[in-house]
Chains A and B, each alone.
Chain A
């Protein structure tokens, strides 16, 4: 065995790039740890090890590298500060992700480490990859810190009482909820006895003030044990209990109220502070907590405390409080008045109108995607602009945003290939690209909107078409025909009588003119859909264009099919005669589409393709919103925004998007859906029966709690009652989460004073359905309460 001095001398001869921690540890592996170095240690060794410790303190290597650090320390080769960084390095690398043994051995046999450093793991929080909680989360269950410490406590290597005490102290150190969870889990695994819990009472009371809800729940659970043992410090608990009543979940506040109730029974002298604490329960968002708090306060006669908080109470609790207080507690009114009318006041665009072509292009290349801006840019680019050439380099940068609108705007400027998305908008960009490249005639585009939401004035359209010498660009013409507004068609038709060619004939037909021989099918389909958007067109059907969305008005249906593991697969059914999609026929949506979807930034523009009818747009994208209930979806916000802004017909697929939007995972998306509900259902833009139908289809997939919350957030109470009264009788009585919907119906019915009846349907009336509940479940109790309202 070599002496340490000889090994160090060999190490010092290593070239600089070979001086690594691993080389040092390998060389020193067989050196006798009992003999310290006599010769000076190479100067580079200390900084090397210090840097390794720093690296381990922020990076979890998943392997027990800390043993090497300790070996160097014990050999006397390095002297390290046992500071926070050192402690975190130990947390990170004392053990292995897969093997419990290295960590167990280190703490069993390294007394210095165990006695002087180990206990600081309860003080140093860590973060990122390195913390007790994170190492445990990603380690094999029996190889983590928790398993190691429970073994060492069982062996007596670590004193059980101190580990418990340090866990509780750590919970008071303001660590994050994630990292604090380690200590509650460890403490729970140590299974403290009643005596140990009673001894910890002062710390547990203090933990009621923790900002971490799980810690408060943990402390309250143990304090209930203390209470059962007859050892609770009532005054101390009452003083701290208000914090427990503010915890978001229902269980913890209800537990605290139970304890306060018991204290009140044995300590009437604490009535005043108990009442003050219980009053916090009236501010809770859950009805059950409010009701329990109200019951306690009634027993205490604390009328003022209730009256002060009357506005915060749920309608059924408010009614109960009003009955007791002898007055009227007014439930908050609906917020429908807060919402602007739609769609009349839609702005033409959020973009400034005075931008130059270069400024508009720069904005689009930077990611702006306002539909009005896109259209104005296309119009400017089609007329020709010298400014655009200066944007070549930013445009080349934007090419990296594959599939996004900005990448395709860049392609227009540079003459590059557009993304291969089969959509009318891409085809329109292709036409403008050819104009910019000088391969197609410049001129005024036909489809540039003249009004909000994509509408095009028929007179302006005819004037633009008359200005073209020869045939206009084909996709531009299709887009324009679909956007023709209803006002001024007769005048425009008269002005169009001499328009030449197939385009002129199609334009006259779109404006209500006589049939003519069908030339370009896509142009005539657009003309027919512009002429009578929601009706069948015998002329096109006779010409062999009888598909859904062509000569015949399409009807769409969302079907949800149950699969394994609670997954419901959405699919689209198209009536009466589905036909394949084509980019020049945007009114046609086949049951199964092929090719990539438009990215999120295209969607506001895509929603304006056919202002008459929202159904094709939502039929194409309803599945995206359905999937947003369990996955992040960047396309969902613009789809939901289109619900509010689309000026056309809203039918079953629009309703399906709204129903799916109310059960999305993102709160921001649900807020959009709630706003859409408030804007569309009370005003009649979306029929409540159609929405209820869509909710029935989606009920298996949806999370009932999310639906309930979104409906209540809409503030449109009467519409909520209407929709739920239609929906509920069509759901099975054991539907998962049904109580949330029933409770919402109950609260909103009381708020509005509307008796929830619902129209007779195939599954009977609401009252019959409510009467069918048996048992004592929350849903059954709420159903009976609703019947009592009737």
Chain B
């Protein structure tokens, strides 16, 4: 998948203010024109945009045997719902998702239109954003206006940026995980900052749980109000924003797994950082879309407990069939590998026969995937194959 930009993002110092002009690629409409106005708290928006871009450039987990390489970051996605703007990105390892919501109160005027595109936060842009402070005005123009497109016809700049398939699947998974999350404890930003300053690190399942005095601490097991923070060092991405936050809300999966979402309330904005259940687990592999009818065209707002539209700049929506596991299951069915017998089925795999059994708690399989993850990351390919094989 290729994004095409008409030109590069640019920052213009007019002498009075800094104009941030974010180049966009195509969305549902070619080169939409979303927003052209001022951000109320420029310093906070700038700091948050930098975090969004930083997460996109960061690999929080490097698989064994893979040398850390120069990151070719994918670009944050921006969505306008007609009232506010949302900037989203995923880390290079797809294990951390973040989103900046510029709320209607944080913009001096509503966006002109709804839609989704992606923005190019390049080094000069980051340089300029890091210089925004205090009461500096910040003019934000999301989308190239048509007149400019027309006049720049002869000077079109194309920048080819591969849109990782994992990003698209991850967005869909993040939505489903957020949707099933329940609210955990709420903390003061100072408490969270102290927690991060203690440099919490560690392997395996760890939890951030409430401690006396409104504080939080690292724990090896869950507690009421606590949420999972496997790879707690990933939370340090929040650090630059905590000073601006008024409170920090946590959310965790209502059952089963150990990821979490950390939501910062900021003046005129909200910032969400969502962690996968383990640093080595990318959102893209969580498998939620395998059992969901919802496509990847929506995000989930934890505060409003409601979906928001996000039409990714893709020709097609994310389909469960795009999931590698579903493709493998279809191949098993097509090869006649499934044999049913009452409540059990045998699936002939590449290296063994696996037994899939119906139980009151759901299907069970004797494969390694199911033994490791059960149904927490969606069914294994053998269970999917049995479901596909089942007569309608």
Give chain A's interface residues, CB within 8 Å of chain B.
Answer: 57-58, 88, 123-130, 169, 172-174, 206, 209-211, 239-240, 242-243, 246, 248, 280, 283-285, 309, 311-312, 331-335, 338, 352, 354-356, 358-359, 361-368, 387, 390-394, 397, 634, 637, 641, 666-669, 671-672, 674-675, 709, 713, 715
- Give 13 A-B pairs besides A128-B70, A393-B352 with Cβ atoms closer than 8 angstroms: A126-B70, A169-B127, A209-B130, A240-B133, A284-B194, A332-B214, A334-B212, A359-B366, A390-B352, A667-B199, A667-B218, A709-B198, A715-B211
The binding surface of chain B is classed by DSSP as mixed
Please name all residues of chain B whose beta carbon is closer than 8 Å to the beta carbon of A390 when the two chains form the complex. 352-355, 366
Please name all residues of chain B whose beta carbon is closer than 8 Å to the beta carbon of A392 when the two chains form the complex. 352
Nearest CB of B to A92, in Å:
10
Check if B352 sits within 8 Å of A394, measured CB to CB.
yes
Please name all residues of chain B whose beta carbon is closer than 8 Å to the beta carbon of A125 when the two chains form the complex. 123
Q: In the bound complex, how far is the Cα of B211 from the Cα of A58, in angstroms? A: 45
| In the complex, residue of chain B having the shortest beta-carbon distance to the beta carbon of A673 | B220
Report B312-335 residues with CB < 8 Å from chain A CB: none
Please name all residues of chain A whose beta carbon is closer than 8 Å to the beta carbon of B50 when the two chains form the complex. 174
Please name all residues of chain B whose beta carbon is closer than 8 Å to the beta carbon of A668 when the two chains form the complex. 200-204, 206, 218, 220
Please name all residues of chain B whose beta carbon is closer than 8 Å to the beta carbon of A637 when the two chains form the complex. 203-204, 220
Check if B123 sits within 8 Å of A355, measured CB to CB.
no
Check if B193 sits within 8 Å of A246, measured CB to CB.
yes
Please name all residues of chain B whose beta carbon is closer than 8 Å to the beta carbon of A239 when the two chains form the complex. 133-134
Please name all residues of chain A whose beta carbon is closer than 8 Å to the beta carbon of B366 when the two chains form the complex. 358-359, 361-362, 387, 390-391
Check if B123 sits within 8 Å of A312, measured CB to CB.
no
Check if B217 sits within 8 Å of A130, measured CB to CB.
no
- B183 interface residue (CB < 8 Å to A): no
Nearest CB of A to B317, in Å:
33
Please name all residues of chain B whose beta carbon is closer than 8 Å to the beta carbon of A88 when the two chains form the complex. 70
Please name all residues of chain B whose beta carbon is closer than 8 Å to the beta carbon of A240 when the two chains form the complex. 133
| Chain B 67-93 near chain A by CB (<8 Å), digits 1 or 0 | 111110000000000000000000000
Check if B243 sits within 8 Å of A242, measured CB to CB.
yes
Nearest CB of B to A274, in Å:
15
A311: contacting residue among B123, B130, B213, CB under 8 A = B213
A240-B133, A368-B371, A671-B202 as given contacts; A354 in contact with B219, CB under 8 Å:
no
Nearest CB of A to B117, in Å:
23
Check if B242 sits within 8 Å of A675, measured CB to CB.
no
- B11 interface residue (CB < 8 Å to A): no
Check if A127 sits within 8 Å of B68, measured CB to CB.
yes
| In the complex, residue of chain A having the shortest beta-carbon distance to the beta carbon of B350 | A393
Check if B243 sits within 8 Å of A243, measured CB to CB.
yes
Please name all residues of chain A whose beta carbon is closer than 8 Å to the beta carbon of B364 when the two chains form the complex. 355, 359
B372: contacting residue among A173, A354, A367, A393, CB under 8 A = A367
Please name all residues of chain A whose beta carbon is closer than 8 Å to the beta carbon of B190 when the two chains form the complex. 283, 309, 312
| Chain B 102-124 near chain A by CB (<8 Å), digits 1 or 0 | 00000000000000000000010
Q: List 23 A-B contacts (CB under 8 A).
A: A58-B69, A127-B69, A128-B67, A174-B126, A174-B127, A206-B133, A209-B47, A210-B130, A312-B213, A332-B214, A335-B212, A352-B361, A355-B364, A359-B357, A361-B366, A366-B371, A394-B352, A394-B368, A397-B368, A668-B201, A668-B206, A671-B217, A675-B220
Q: In the bound complex, how far is the Cα of B371 from the Cα of A387, in angstroms? A: 15
A358-B355, A666-B203, A668-B201 as given contacts; A172 in contact with B130, CB under 8 Å:
yes
Please name all residues of chain B whose beta carbon is closer than 8 Å to the beta carbon of A126 when the two chains form the complex. 70
- B351 interface residue (CB < 8 Å to A): yes
Q: In the bound complex, how far is the Cα of B368 from the Cα of A366, in angstroms? A: 5
Check if A338 sits within 8 Å of B213, measured CB to CB.
no
- B54 interface residue (CB < 8 Å to A): yes
Q: In the bound complex, how far is the Cα of B214 from the Cα of A125, in angstroms? A: 39
| Chain B 8-28 near chain A by CB (<8 Å), digits 1 or 0 | 000000000000000000000
B198: contacting residue among A243, A361, A367, A667, CB under 8 A = A667
Please name all residues of chain B whose beta carbon is closer than 8 Å to the beta carbon of A130 when the two chains form the complex. 70
Please name all residues of chain B whose beta carbon is closer than 8 Å to the beta carbon of A364 when the two chains form the complex. 371
Nearest CB of B to A413, in Å:
12
Please name all residues of chain B whose beta carbon is closer than 8 Å to the beta carbon of A675 when the two chains form the complex. 219-221
- B359 interface residue (CB < 8 Å to A): yes
Please name all residues of chain B whose beta carbon is closer than 8 Å to the beta carbon of A174 when the two chains form the complex. 50, 53-54, 126-127, 129-130
Nearest CB of A to B356, in Å:
10
| In the complex, residue of chain B having the shortest beta-carbon distance to the beta carbon of A338 | B223
Nearest CB of A to B160, in Å:
13
Please name all residues of chain B whose beta carbon is closer than 8 Å to the beta carbon of A173 when the two chains form the complex. 123, 126-127, 130
- B209 interface residue (CB < 8 Å to A): yes
| Chain B 347-380 near chain A by CB (<8 Å), digits 1 or 0 | 0000111110101010011111011100000000
Nearest CB of B to A256, in Å:
13
Please name all residues of chain A whose beta carbon is closer than 8 Å to the beta carbon of B211 when the two chains form the complex. 332, 335, 338, 713, 715
Please name all residues of chain A whose beta carbon is closer than 8 Å to the beta carbon of B209 when the two chains form the complex. 338
| Chain B 277-320 near chain A by CB (<8 Å), digits 1 or 0 | 00000000000000000000000000000000000000000000
- B162 interface residue (CB < 8 Å to A): no
- B164 interface residue (CB < 8 Å to A): no
| In the complex, residue of chain A having the shortest beta-carbon distance to the beta carbon of B224 | A338
Please name all residues of chain A whose beta carbon is closer than 8 Å to the beta carbon of B239 when the two chains form the complex. 211
Please name all residues of chain B whose beta carbon is closer than 8 Å to the beta carbon of A354 when the two chains form the complex. 359, 361
| In the complex, residue of chain A having the shortest beta-carbon distance to the beta carbon of B211 | A335
Q: In the bound complex, how far is the Cα of B202 from the Cα of A311, in angstroms? A: 28
| In the complex, residue of chain B having the shortest beta-carbon distance to the beta carbon of A285 | B194
Check if A394 sits within 8 Å of B191, measured CB to CB.
no
| In the complex, residue of chain A having the shortest beta-carbon distance to the beta carbon of B67 | A128
| In the complex, residue of chain A having the shortest beta-carbon distance to the beta carbon of B225 | A338
Please name all residues of chain B whose beta carbon is closer than 8 Å to the beta carbon of A367 when the two chains form the complex. 371-372
- B240 interface residue (CB < 8 Å to A): yes
Check if A391 sits within 8 Å of B130, measured CB to CB.
no
A394: contacting residue among B129, B212, B351, CB under 8 A = B351
Check if B220 sits within 8 Å of A672, measured CB to CB.
yes
Please name all residues of chain A whose beta carbon is closer than 8 Å to the beta carbon of B193 when the two chains form the complex. 246, 283
Please name all residues of chain A whose beta carbon is closer than 8 Å to the beta carbon of B202 when the two chains form the complex. 666-669, 671
| Chain B 232-249 near chain A by CB (<8 Å), digits 1 or 0 | 100000011011000000
Please name all residues of chain B whose beta carbon is closer than 8 Å to the beta carbon of A715 when the two chains form the complex. 211-212, 217
Please name all residues of chain A whose beta carbon is closer than 8 Å to the beta carbon of B70 when the two chains form the complex. 57-58, 88, 126-128, 130
Please name all residues of chain B whose beta carbon is closer than 8 Å to the beta carbon of A128 when the two chains form the complex. 67-70
Nearest CB of B to A166, in Å:
12
- B215 interface residue (CB < 8 Å to A): yes
| In the complex, residue of chain A having the shortest beta-carbon distance to the beta carbon of B53 | A174
Nearest CB of A to B309, in Å:
31
Q: In the bound complex, how far is the Cα of B128 from the Cα of A206, in angstroms? A: 11
Report the 10 A-B pairs with minimum CB-CB distance, sorted nearest first: A668-B202, A332-B213, A332-B212, A366-B371, A283-B190, A248-B197, A393-B352, A363-B371, A362-B366, A128-B68
Please name all residues of chain A whose beta carbon is closer than 8 Å to the beta carbon of B355 when the two chains form the complex. 356, 358, 387, 390
Nearest CB of A to B353, in Å:
5
Nearest CB of B to A172, in Å:
5
Check if B370 sits within 8 Å of A362, measured CB to CB.
yes
Q: In the bound complex, how far is the Cα of B194 from the Cα of A359, in angstroms? A: 44
Nearest CB of B to A185, in Å:
20
| In the complex, residue of chain A having the shortest beta-carbon distance to the beta carbon of B205 | A668
| In the complex, residue of chain A having the shortest beta-carbon distance to the beta carbon of B69 | A128
A667: contacting residue among B54, B201, B243, CB under 8 A = B201
Q: In the bound complex, how far is the Cα of B70 from the Cα of A312, in angstroms? A: 41
Please name all residues of chain A whose beta carbon is closer than 8 Å to the beta carbon of B196 when the two chains form the complex. 248
- B256 interface residue (CB < 8 Å to A): no
Check if A280 sits within 8 Å of B243, measured CB to CB.
yes
A240-B133, A390-B366 as given contacts; A127 in contact with B214, CB under 8 Å:
no
Check if A366 sits within 8 Å of B372, measured CB to CB.
yes
Nearest CB of A to B245, in Å:
12
B131: contacting residue among A172, A284, A397, CB under 8 A = A172
| In the complex, residue of chain B having the shortest beta-carbon distance to the beta carbon of A395 | B352
Q: In the bound complex, how far is the Cα of B69 from the Cα of A742, in angstroms? A: 46
B240: contacting residue among A211, A312, A362, A368, CB under 8 A = A211
A671: contacting residue among B127, B220, B370, CB under 8 A = B220
| Chain B 171-193 near chain A by CB (<8 Å), digits 1 or 0 | 00000000000000000101101
Q: In the bound complex, how far is the Cα of B12 from the Cα of A354, in angstroms? A: 66
